[in-house]
Each structure stands twice: as C-alpha cells, then as structure tokens.
Amino acid sequence: MSSPPIILFQPPPGNILLNYNIRLPSTEQNPSSGVPQTYLDSQTVRENVFAKEQNAVPIKYQQDRDDTRSFCWVLYSSFPDVKPIGTIRLVPSPHHPHPAPGAKFEAPNEEPPGFGTMMLFKHMPLPEYAIDRKTSLHDGSESYVKLGRLCVVQEERGKRLADLLINAALDWAKENVQEIGKGVGDKVPRWKGLVCVHAQEKAVGVWERHGFVIDEAMGSWFEGGIRHLGMFRRLELEEE
C-alpha cells in the first residue's frame, strides 16, 4: 500500500528571493542561493502547469512581487517516488483593486526596460490598502486573504488532490490569524475570515466544493487568455 501524499508549508520567503534568477527554471537555480527548496518545488509545479502546459505566461513572468510575502503549500507524491505535484499560495491583505469586468492581462510582448529579479522582487510596488469598488460579496473595505496559484500537474489530476491543498491553506488560516496580520501595517483592517479567489473558469467547481461562491458583480476577466471569475468564502474564526 502506498503512503499518502505529503504537504509541506513554506512561510513568506521575503528578500531571499533577490537571489532567485527569474530567467532560469526553478530546477536550475544556484544551490547556494538560499532560496528554500519548498519554494523552488512550488515554482516547479507552477512552471509545468502555467508556463508549459497552459502556455499562459513565460517562466520569467511567472512569479510576482506577492511571492515575497505569500504563504504557500506544496503537495508531494508518496514514497518512494517523491516529487512536487501540486501547490497553492495565500496572499494576505492588502491587494490590488478588483479586476475590471472584461479586463485582459497578458505578459508583455517586449521585456520592460530594467526588468529582472531586482525589479520584480524589490522595486515593483506592493499594493497599498485603499477602498475598492463594492461587489456582491465584498463591501470594498473589509480585509481579505487571497488564495491563488492553485495547480496540480496534469498526470496527477482526477484524484481531488487540489482539495488537500485548499483544506491545508484554509485550516492554517483559521488557526493563524495573528500570523496573517503581521507586517500588514496599521491602515489595514484586521482580517475577519473573508477569503477571495480569482478562479480559472474550469476550476470554479473545485472551489465551489469548498464553499466558495461566485461574486456576480465582480464580473469576469482574462489572464493569459484564460477566463477568470472572482469567488469568496467566509471562514468562521475562533473568538480571541
């Protein structure tokens, strides 16, 4: 009997990502860079799914500034052939404004001047807290966390492995409210359990299994040519 899959947790890597060469695949990074192996494994899955399989974004644009402050989980296949097969990340508040209905986000055809690791992970501005447009499920001001970059490699799909990752992230969030609130600044309201996802259209059913509901007023938009929809769920947090 094979052992169950393994899930490892990775806290925000922060400035250590300044040692990450965004022009190289995760499997070709300098071993002495100090970048955590769990983070590298997460990128391996994301590259395989988003860059290679879906052809949605080139590897050098696959990461973003939020990766420096995100918590992530990596799912590994069972012993003896242990390898990364799935991942998810949780981004704390604040966030960029909700996408406009019908908006299209594509990787640039030409590399922006000065683009590189320093620009991506240090000089590119982080989002600041501001009142957002009101939608069906978000009042525009409440703090929320965002789950994203959920993916499972093609050969492992159909086993509901994504459910393991979603449950791991949600369970951790419920038990680590203070950790989520660290370093977000005094202007950001305290997180009270609201969770958002920007779901690929074909993955809506996966999120619905976990209680997420489509936000009709947020509308839909396209990222890398793939239609996305906003969804929300509220977690019941323990009273402190």
Q: What is the pLDDT of residues 181-239, one digit of tens each?
A: 887 778 899 999 999 999 999 999 999 999 999 999 999 999 999 999 999 999 999 76
Determine the pLDDT at residue 238. 79
- The per-residue pLDDT for range 205-217, each reduced to its tens digit, is 999 999 999 999 9
On the question of pLDDT at 3 being above 80, the answer is no
Residue 145: burial class (beta carbons within 10 Å; 0-12, 13-18, 19+)? buried
Domains in the chain, number: 1
- Counting Cα atoms < 13 Å in the Cβ hemisphere of 7 gives 19
Using 50, 70 and 90 to split pLDDT, how confident is the model at 240?
low
Inside any domain, residue 181: yes
The whole-number average pLDDT for the span 125-138 is 96
CA 139, chain centre distance (Å): 22
* Terminal alpha carbon distance of the chain: 42
Amino acid, res. 169:
A
On the question of pLDDT at 1 being above 80, the answer is no
- The per-residue pLDDT for range 42-101, each reduced to its tens digit, is 999 999 999 999 998 999 999 999 999 999 999 999 877 899 999 999 999 999 999 999
Strands 104-105 and 220-223, how do they pair? Answer: parallel
Inside any domain, residue 239: no
Inside any domain, residue 79: yes
Strands 220-223 and 145-152, how do they pair? Answer: unpaired
Residues with Cβ within 8 Å of residue 201, at least 6 apart in sequence: 220, 226, 227, 228, 229
pTM check: above 0.85: yes
Inside any domain, residue 1: no
Inside any domain, residue 85: yes
Determine the pLDDT at residue 78. 85
Q: Over pLDDT 70: what percentage of the chain?
A: 98
Determine the pLDDT at residue 184. 78
Q: Is 101 left (phi over 0), alpha (psi -120 to 50) or beta?
A: beta
- Domain ranges, residue 78: 6-234
Mean pLDDT (the chain, rounded): 95
Inside any domain, residue 39: yes
The whole-number average pLDDT for the span 98-105 is 97
Amino acid, res. 66:
D
Inside any domain, residue 198: yes
Lowest-confidence region among 4-8, 166-170, 171-175: 4-8
- CATH number of the structural domain spanning residue 141: 3.40.630.30
Question: Running DSSP on this structure, what letter comes out for residue 62?
Answer: S
Amino acid, res. 173:
A
Strands 71-76 and 6-10, how do they pair? Answer: antiparallel
Residue 183 CA to residue 93 CA, distance in Å, equals: 10
Are 73 and 8 in contact, with CB atoms under 8 Å apart?
Answer: yes
Inside any domain, residue 240: no
Residues with Cβ within 8 Å of residue 31, at least 6 apart in sequence: none
